[in-house]
């Protein structure tokens, strides 16, 4: 079992970025480095340890990339009945996937009113055209899961969208298929999370079009970066008392930024304290172990060197 001291010892041994030759054309996202090889119609996705919140990169968290990659691989394998881009994972931080053309929209599924949806509801805004009932409380469970699409920004903030705006970008038949796939994935994720003592609160899905024109889930799936998880056992009591839920996801970082630094993505990002980094790493690892039922395993040495060896490439 990984100890807190091990996390502290590896605060500097993180993957900030990669520059691997021979993998194809590089694109750097907020968290992942993507290498596209159009000859093989494949993409190599490297989950770095970068942490972002409010669409701003804040630094790195030890083992975060490994957790994200291995959890995504777990979920892709658990939900094979919904087409996805996953092919293999040759390294704990690396995934080989089918090359897809991304749709310019993120499909967010929510089962509770919390996070950005709650903040909007408090301000009496309705950017999604949902017309939610009046008198709702923070963290309240919705009668049915709802979809709140957003833009997929290459830089800056993702913005809420109404369905009619989405249909200006994506043909209705394709978007309807994406909605159906998202709800099916969310139902499966909810079922597995509940069996592990967790609530899958909300999550985002990204979709792409494969070479043959079919639609597939891309990017990540049900990870703590793309999803919100709460501890199931304490939900009702904390909700009744109006207390914050026990979180095992990136929301811990967001709440620290809001409450301690009064930061929501505007201006220079504050530096994360060592304690926040360590606690965030612990939450990521705990979630991995709860969902998979496996002990989180680490390897000694430099992560970049390990990846180069497993991928057979040079720096």
Give the pLDDT confidence score for residue 92 in this predicted structure: 97
Residue 200 has pLDDT above 80, yes or no: yes
What is the dihedral sign for C-alpha 171, 54, 230, 47?
positive
**Across 133-156, average pLDDT:** 90
Shortest CA distance to 282 belongs to which of 303, 252, 302, 257? Answer: 252
pLDDT classification of 267: cutoffs 50, 70, 90 = confident
Direct distance between the N- and C-terminal alpha carbons of the chain, in angstroms, rounded to an integer: 31
314 φ/ψ angles, rounded to the nearest 5 degrees: -105, 160
Q: What percent of the chain has pLDDT over 90?
A: 85
Q: Are the CB atoms for 18 and 48 separated by under 8 Å?
A: yes
Which structure tokens are listed for 13? 């041994």
**Residue located via tokens 């919390």:** 114
pLDDT classification of 63: cutoffs 50, 70, 90 = very high
Strands (E), the chain: 25-28, 32-37, 42-47, 50-53, 56-60, 86-91, 94-98, 101-112, 141-147, 150-151, 198-209, 215-218, 227-231
Give the pLDDT confidence score for residue 51 in this predicted structure: 94
Express each pLDDT in 19-43 by its tens digit.
998 899 999 999 999 999 999 999 9
Express each pLDDT in 292-303 by its tens digit.
999 999 888 899
Give the pLDDT confidence score for residue 155 in this predicted structure: 57
Low-confidence winner among 5-14, 118-127, 153-162, 202-211 (lowest mean pLDDT): 153-162
* DSSP H or E stretch at residue 122: helix 115-122
Q: What percent of the chain has pLDDT over 70?
A: 98
pTM over 0.85? The answer is yes
Give the pLDDT confidence score for residue 41 in this predicted structure: 94
Nearest-angstrom CA–CA distance, 1 and 270: 31
* DSSP H or E stretch at residue 308: helix 303-311
- Strand 198-209 to 227-231 pairing: antiparallel
Residue 154 has pLDDT above 80, yes or no: no
pLDDT classification of 235: cutoffs 50, 70, 90 = very high
Helix (H, G, I), strand (E, B) or coil at 6: helix
Kindly list the structural domains of the chain, giving each domain's residue range(s) and its CATH number in brackets, ordered by start: 4-311 (3.30.470.20)
**Residue located via tokens 């909810």:** 190
Nearest-angstrom CA–CA distance, 218 and 95: 11
**Across 278-282, average pLDDT:** 95
Express each pLDDT in 74-114 by its tens digit.
999 999 999 999 999 999 999 999 999 999 999 999 999 99
**Across 246-272, average pLDDT:** 90
Which structure tokens are listed for 140? 């309240």
């Amino acid at each position: 079992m990984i100890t807190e001291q091990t996390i502290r010892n590896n605060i500097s041994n993180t993957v900030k970025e990669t520059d691997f030759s021979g993998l194809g054309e590089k694109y750097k996202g907020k968290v992942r480095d993507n290498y596209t090889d159009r000859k093989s119609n494949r993409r190599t996705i490297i989950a770095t340890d970068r942490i972002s919140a409010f669409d701003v990169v804040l630094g790195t968290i030890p083992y975060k990339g490994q957790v994200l990659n291995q959890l995504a691989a777990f979920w892709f394998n658990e939900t094979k009945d919904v087409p996805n881009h996953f092919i293999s994972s040759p390294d704990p931080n690396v995934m080989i996937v089918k090359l897809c053309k991304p749709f310019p929209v993120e499909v967010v599924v929510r089962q509770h009113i919390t996070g950005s949806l709650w903040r909007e509801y408090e301000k009496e805004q309705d950017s999604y055209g949902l017309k939610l009932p009046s008198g709702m409380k923070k963290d309240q469970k919705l009668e049915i899961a709802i979809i709140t699409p957003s833009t997929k920004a290459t830089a800056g903030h993702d913005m809420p969208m109404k369905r009619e705006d989405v249909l200006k970008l994506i043909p209705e038949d394709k978007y309807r298929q994406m909605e159906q796939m998202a709800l099916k994935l969310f139902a499966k994720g909810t079922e597995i999370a509940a069996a592990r003592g967790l609530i899958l609160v909300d999550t985002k899905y990204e979709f792409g079009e494969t070479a043959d024109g079919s639609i597939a889930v891309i990017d990540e799936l049900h990870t703590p970066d793309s999803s919100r998880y709460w501890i199931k056992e304490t939900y009702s009591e904390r909700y009744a008392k109006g207390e914050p839920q026990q979180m095992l996801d990136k929301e811990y970082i967001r709440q620290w930024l809001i409450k301690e630094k009064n930061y929501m993505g505007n201006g220079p990002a504050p530096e994360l304290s060592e304690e926040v980094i360590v606690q965030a790493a612990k939450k990521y690892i705990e979630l991995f172990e709860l969902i998979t039922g496996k002990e989180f395993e680490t390897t000694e040495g430099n992560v970049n060197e390990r990846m180069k060896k497993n991928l057979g490439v040079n720096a």
